[in-house]
Amino acid sequence: MQVAVSQEAGCFSCLVCGCGSVGLLILERLRREQILCTCLDNDPTRVKELREQNYEALCIDITDEKKLSKLGPFNVVFFVSDNHDANLFGVLWARKTLPSAYVIARASDPINKGELIEAGADFVIYPQEIIANFAYSCLEQLRCRGNGSKLIHILEQWNGTLGIVLHTNPDPDGISSGLALARLAHITNPDLHVQLFYDGVIGYQENRALVNILDLKLERLTPQALTRCEYIALVDSGGPGINNGLSRNTTVDIIIDHHNEQNITQTAAFIDIRPRYGACASILTEYMKVLQITPDPKLATALLYGLRTDTKDFHRNLSPNDLINAAFLLQYADAELLEKIMFPQYSYETMDILGHAILNRKAKNGYLFSNVGYVRNRDALPQAADMLLSLEGISTAIVYGITDEAIIMSGRNRDVRLNLGTVMSETFGDIGNAGGHATMAAASIPLSIFSLVRDKEVLLELVIEPLLQNLYRHIGLLEDNTEQK
């Protein structure tokens, strides 16, 4: 008896071969979704039970090619019996007989999985692997829930003032993370006063727009300001003195970060550092999720923008958790507010720095270096590095300049053989602050003994060459003098 399935416009049909526990669950889900479905099994008793449940069930063995040839056509075919040889036979048959159908098969081990893929299955279900991945996902959720509960418990016990310190020249990720921690503290302990501190400058036009539009109250970090704080928290920074205005010996109570900082010896009451995450905002978002706290539109917008910028529009250092957290924030974010933050006007100085970066570029075998001279707005350097990385043939772009206090560098990288954060740390870590990720990194080398020199650009020309030579040695460019325009 031939079973013909209607292929009218809008009709989607499936064939499920093997109706054990896995096949039955698939049938139930397809029925809930109102998808037209035929199923077959070689067990007459099972087929009878399925028919009693109003399933269109046939008693056919998967390896009976003669009977299989009378079935169809179908859009999707499942081979999910507990017999690997039968599933493999079915995949080969479907590829020959139903070339336009999608084929989904069940594997019992990694070797079987490879055989089914080679036979032509579009998707292979390996139940043990799915269970293991789900178990790990549960572990991650429990760990995050535990971290969130621990953080809340700590905040509940405190009285006085909590100072949240952002990293030097704070970016949207740091700003939004600080704002989220302040919100968590206020919800948990309304009597705890919270103040956000920063040092350096808020330079990017988008960063200033974020602060202004959200009307954030950020206070400049000073030793006097810190004396008002009974507790100190760091967000988007791995410890005191690591890209922030705190001294190395400052006692810190909370550290939340996503950078892979080395040699951290902190004994803070709460430490949560997750290098796999693309943004600190993603970690704070998870706290809100597991603690069932709904962010208001302004906070959700800030966190979403922070996550988006630190992953460069979800293209850099991205983890699945970041995408899940972004989807969560998207429900509550204000699209109009986000657009205002993302498209502010550029300052004249930023445009000048971008121009200098283009004019002064020098490239060696895919590595580009550019001197932008004296700068006040240091946040323009990573903008310039992002822009120069888009040049044809460039895999790594490093832009450097000088301020009143330091020689500063910002790098961007897409060469999978190079970890730019490690290179920066190894090259400049002993004489300044340096580090970052494989694809983005920065360094700041204090001028110290040169602080009285008036002409900073002349000073940069005098001291930059040995610094660059050291960097070339770590990258491996000393033997190559080929230059590109």
- CA–CA separation, 327 vs 348, rounded Å? 36
Which mean pLDDT values do the consecutive 10-residue runs of the chain (485 residues) have? 44 90 94 93 95 95 91 92 95 93 94 95 94 90 89 95 93 94 95 93 79 88 93 92 87 90 70 92 94 94 94 86 94 91 79 93 92 86 92 94 89 91 88 84 80 65 77 72 51
Tokens representing 462 are 């005098």
Report yes or no on whether pTM surpasses 0.75.
no
Q: Which amino acid is at 461?
A: E
Q: Do domains 10-125 and 138-342 have the same CATH topology?
A: no
User: What backbone phi and psi angles, to 5 degrees, belong to 95?
Assistant: -65, -35
CA-only gyration radius of the chain, Å: 29
Q: Are 240 and 248 spatial neighbours (Cβ–Cβ below 8 Å)?
A: yes
Q: Which amino acid is at 28?
A: E
Q: Which amino acid is at 154?
A: I
| pLDDT tens-place string over residues 302-348 | 999 999 999 988 888 889 899 999 999 999 999 998 888 887 777 78
Residue spans of the domains in the chain: they are 10-125, 138-342, 348-475
| pLDDT tens-place string over residues 40-79 | 999 999 999 999 999 999 999 999 999 988 887 899 999 9
Whole-number pLDDT of residue 227: 93
Helix 297-310 vs helix 205-213: crossing angle, to nearest 10: 170
CATH code for residues 138-342: 3.90.1640.10
Q: Are 21 and 82 spatial neighbours (Cβ–Cβ below 8 Å)?
A: no
CATH H-level, domain 10-125: superfamily? NAD(P)-binding Rossmann-like Domain (3.40.50.720)
Alpha carbon distances (Å) from 221 to 17, 122, 240: 67, 57, 13
**CATH of 348-475 among 3.40.50.700, 3.10.310.30, 2.40.30.10, 3.90.110.10:** 3.10.310.30
- State CA 264 to chain mean position distance: 22
